[in-house]
Amino acid sequence: MSPYDHKTLKTVEPVDCVGPQKGSGGVRDLKFSPDGKWLAASFANEITEVWTVGNGFTQHGLFATQAAGITWSPDSRYILAQQKEGVVIWSPD
């Protein structure tokens, strides 16, 4: 039996919808922090936004970046994002 058999698939309902405050033009990168407390998304208009994760998602902050990759430090203390001339390091705390 295929794992894609219509009898085995379940409908998934959305839990929350997170909309950008300033970001626009589509999501370029999206990452949860390693500790699961934060969600960061970079957008095509060169804005990265951060939300706290808990009982829903709460806008926490934003900063300017290139529309490229973002990554978290292993201890979740920092977000690293590509800039035109280097890397921006931002702490959500």
- Kindly tell me if the per-residue pLDDT of 1 is higher than 60: no
- Kindly tell me if the per-residue pLDDT of 77 is higher than 90: yes
Q: How many CB atoms lie within 10 A of CB 59?
A: 14
Q: What pLDDT score was predicted for residue 90?
A: 87
Q: What pLDDT score was predicted for residue 2?
A: 60
Predicted confidence (pLDDT) per residue in 26-47, tens digit: 888 899 999 999 999 888 888 8
Q: What pLDDT score was predicted for residue 74?
A: 96
- Kindly tell me if the per-residue pLDDT of 51 is higher than 60: yes
Across 65-86, average pLDDT: 85
